[in-house]
Amino acid sequence: MKIKVHPPTYSLFFILLLVNPLMAFQVFAGENCNAVRAQYQCPVKKHRLHLSFDDGVGSVTPKILDVLKRENIKATFLILGNKVDCKQYKPGKSLELCKQRFNTLKRIKSEGHDIGSHSYQHYHHSKLSLAELNKTILDSKKILEPFFTTQPPVFRLPYGDGWFNQKDQPQVMEALKKAGFEHLGWEMTAYDWNEKYQHGDQILDNVMGQMCKGRGRDGVVLFHDGVFENEHEGRVFTANNLARWIPKLRCAADFVPLTDVKKNFKKR
Ligand SMILES: [Zn+2]
């Protein structure tokens, strides 16, 4: 049987083969998982990984949804209430962008991802008065209630503030519980918000390192699809590179639904 190879692809393969044989085979034959696992010292037995995204909805969220759809991965999106509360805007560009974000929120739900609250405002919750604390939690519940996918509904505190320091600041977790939420922390973090890692594969290195180093870790990994300071943008670097990182992550992990790694949440 004759195999037809398009001339530019054919020549590109041989140029790559001369320059970097490993890359040639990775590009043309899919991911070389042996090499990936060796690089990060990952075991052959796969870890269980669940992707989560904070600070959205952002303008890049649809791009992330496209990647997840193609890869058949269900993730969890922790939404900032104020990003999708469109009644705060007068007619104009901001309102139009808010409506786009609201439509993206509907798409997140219709594509089978889990949705939780990242509060209404991106405050340090342990620094709030009790009245402010309850208001931002309940405002997010009001706007996001139709979109929650779990019982109890998921909440992730901005900066993890009130979660990792709950011994000293118990009022935050108490307020969440009173509002009917359950907090979702993370076992691994990509540090993708930090510009110093927004080069090459450093963000992938962060996750692979935490997942495979030592005894390794399973569970939820924290990424970002939004930028909380800016109503329009998202985490552009993450959105642009996620498609490249997923096949490498898959060499060492199976992507599993939230309810597989967190038994305290049930699907609604
Ligand atoms: Zn956040």
Q: Domains (ranges, CATH) in the chain?
A: 1-30 (no CATH), 31-267 (3.20.20.370)
Cα(199)–Cα(222) distance, integer angstroms: 18
* Cβ atoms of 125 and 157 closer than 8 Å: yes
CA dihedral 178, 187, 55, 161 (to 10 degrees): 50
Q: How far is CA 110 from CA 8, 147, 179, 194, 260, in A?
A: 40, 10, 25, 31, 20
pLDDT at 228: 84
pLDDT at 214: 87
Measured in Å, residue 54 CA sits from the centre of ligand 1 at 5
- What stretches in the chain show pLDDT beneath 70? 1-17, 19-29, 231
Q: Report pTM.
A: 0.89
Cα(206)–Cα(219) distance, integer angstroms: 15
Cα angle: 39, vertex 45, 46; to 5 degrees:
75
pLDDT at 229: 78
Measured in Å, residue 89 CA sits from the centre of ligand 1 at 22
Measured in Å, residue 147 CA sits from the centre of ligand 1 at 19
Measured in Å, residue 138 CA sits from the centre of ligand 1 at 17
pLDDT at 4: 47
Q: 182: exposed, middle or buried (C-beta count within 10 Å: 0-12, 13-18, 19+)?
A: middle
Measured in Å, residue 82 CA sits from the centre of ligand 1 at 13
Measured in Å, residue 12 CA sits from the centre of ligand 1 at 42
pLDDT at 259: 97
DSSP, res 154? E
Handedness of CA 210, 212, 216, 219 (dihedral sign): positive
Cα(77)–Cα(55) distance, integer angstroms: 8
CB within 8 Å of 61: residues ≥ 6 apart = 53, 77, 101, 104, 108, 225, 226, 234, 239
Cα(109)–Cα(224) distance, integer angstroms: 17
Q: Among all chains, which residue has been given the structure tokens 């209430």?
A: 81
* Cβ atoms of 122 and 224 closer than 8 Å: no
* Beta pairing, strands 150-151 & 266-267: antiparallel
Measured in Å, residue 159 CA sits from the centre of ligand 1 at 6
pLDDT at 12: 57
pLDDT at 31: 84
pLDDT at 45: 94
* Beta pairing, strands 253-255 & 219-224: unpaired
> Residues within 5 Å of ion ligand 1 by Cβ?
54-55, 158
